[in-house]
């Protein structure tokens, strides 16, 4: 892949980047900074990806090989060097195709982020789903519908949440926000299965396809015969969900509390990651403000052409 290795995920480097910002004693600031680090990485990768590798040239077929081919000799010794050249060309084309696919996906993600910032404010974040899952596991966070949240809702945030709800429902729902179906419970029908997979507990949703749920966000069906469980879906659908510390959420099953982080986030799901709208808690941390300014500068300078 050559220069395209930069967008292949390196979990050790990612974890190191998050650890660098963790000395802060404010729990919410710590999680918020981790979210910012992930979005900055996404923006910086997009900056680097805007220059595609050159289109490779198809190796010219020598006249003697054309003559051999016409006679039906397609595997003789004379073809060896040409076949090596063609294999190299195919590798370069595959690399170019993957780079184009990544750039197209990244451009769409940046477009979604820019639109969301216009609609919901310049502090809106977009976190790739696999990064969001990793942070949920790292900080023991659980997502769910609002009725699963048993913590405190600050009075000064209720108006913000009401506005978000009004702007993400019905005809007002942006086309980039996905409608989700929530998991109500899990029926385990195999003696070999002790509990539902942890990722379902942390993100108990499936994407809604016109009122029909088919699979979770790891590609497993709601009826997982081989896995020995059935996900029972909650009635209705939702666009917004809450991501909060495990101790503040009603769960499908008990999740061991690892850390005592306090404040939740209001989120939405897109094809390009998780939008994070409202962050409760210590939002005036200087380091976080600097990260927001850095993200704003990068985002405003990005071209989608």
pLDDT of residue 242: 92
- Render pLDDT for 85-123 as a digit per residue (tens, 0 to 9): 999 999 999 988 888 888 888 889 999 999 999 999 888
User: 190-199, 202-211, 254-263: which has the minimum mean pLDDT?
Assistant: 254-263
Residue 69 pLDDT grade (very low, low, confident, very high; cuts 50, 70, 90): confident
Residue 220 has pLDDT above 70, yes or no: yes
- State the average pLDDT over residues 48-61: 83
- Report the SS3 class of residue 194: coil
Residue 198 has pLDDT above 90, yes or no: no
Is the pTM higher than 0.85? The answer reads no
Residue 124 has pLDDT above 60, yes or no: yes
What is the chain's mean pLDDT, rounded? 78
pLDDT of residue 194: 61
Cα–Cα distance for residue pair 233/237, rounded to 1 Å: 10
Residue 196 has pLDDT above 90, yes or no: no
Angle between helices 286-301 and 27-49 (to 10 degrees): 20
Beta bridge partners of 185: 232
Reduced DSSP (H G I as helix, E B as strand, rest coil) percent helix, strand, coil of the chain, to 5: 50, 20, 35
Greater model confidence, 269 or 207: 269
Cα–Cα distance for residue pair 118/26, rounded to 1 Å: 29
Backbone φ and ψ for 60, nearest 5 degrees, come out as -70, 140
* CA 279, chain centre distance (Å): 18
- State the average pLDDT over residues 182-201: 75
Closest CA to 224 of 194, 252, 196: 196
Residue 158 pLDDT grade (very low, low, confident, very high; cuts 50, 70, 90): confident
Q: Which residue in the block uniquely carries the two structure tokens 């600050």?
A: 154
pLDDT of residue 25: 40
pLDDT of residue 232: 82
Closest CA to 239 of 184, 182, 178: 178
Residue 9 has pLDDT above 60, yes or no: no
* CA 149, chain centre distance (Å): 23
Residue 35 has pLDDT above 50, yes or no: yes
Task: Please tell me the total number of residues recorded for the chain in this structure.
Answer: 305
Strand duo 229-233 + 240-245: pairing = unpaired
Q: Where are the beta strands (DSSP E) in the chain?
A: 125-127, 141-144, 180-188, 205-209, 212-216, 223-224, 229-233, 240-245, 265-270, 273-279
39: which 2 tokens?
């979005």
Residue 18 has pLDDT above 60, yes or no: no
Q: What is the DSSP string of 251-304?
A: -SS-----------EEEEEETTEEEEEEE-S-TT-HHHHHHHHHHHHHHHH---
User: 3-12, 159-168, 251-260: which has the minimum mean pLDDT?
Assistant: 3-12
């Amino acid at each position: 892949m050559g220069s395209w290795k930069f967008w292949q995920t390196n979990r050790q480097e990612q974890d190191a980047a998050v650890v660098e910002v963790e000395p802060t004693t404010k729990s919410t600031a710590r999680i918020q900074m981790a979210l910012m680090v992930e979005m900055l990485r996404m923006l910086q990768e997009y900056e680097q990806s805007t220059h595609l590798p050159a289109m490779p040239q198809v190796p010219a077929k020598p006249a003697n090989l054309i003559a051999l081919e016409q006679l039906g000799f397609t595997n003789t010794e004379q073809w060896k060097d040409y076949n090596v050249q063609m294999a190299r060309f195919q590798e370069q084309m595959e690399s170019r195709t993957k780079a184009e696919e990544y750039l197209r996906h990244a451009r769409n993600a940046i477009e979604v982020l820019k639109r969301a910032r216009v609609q919901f404010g310049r502090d809106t974040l977009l976190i790739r789903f696999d990064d969001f899952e990793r942070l949920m596991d790292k900080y023991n966070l659980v997502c769910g519908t609002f009725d699963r949240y048993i913590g405190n809702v600050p009075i000064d945030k209720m108006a913000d949440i009401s506005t978000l709800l009004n702007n993400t429902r019905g005809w007002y729902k942006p086309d980039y926000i996905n409608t989700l179906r929530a998991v109500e419970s899990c029926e385990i029908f195999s003696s070999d299965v002790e509990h539902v997979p942890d990722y379902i507990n942390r993100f108990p949703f499936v994407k809604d396809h016109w009122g029909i749920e088919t699979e979770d966000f790891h590609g497993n069906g709601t009826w997982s015969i081989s896995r020995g469980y059935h996900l029972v879906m909650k009635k209705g659908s939702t666009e917004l969900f809450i991501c909060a510390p495990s101790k503040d959420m009603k769960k499908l099953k008990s999740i061991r509390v690892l850390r005592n982080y306090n404040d939740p986030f209001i989120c939405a799901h897109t094809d390009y990651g998780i939008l994070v709208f409202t962050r409760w808690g210590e939002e005036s941390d200087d380091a976080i403000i600097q990260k927001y300014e850095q993200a704003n500068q990068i985002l405003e300078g990005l071209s989608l052409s």
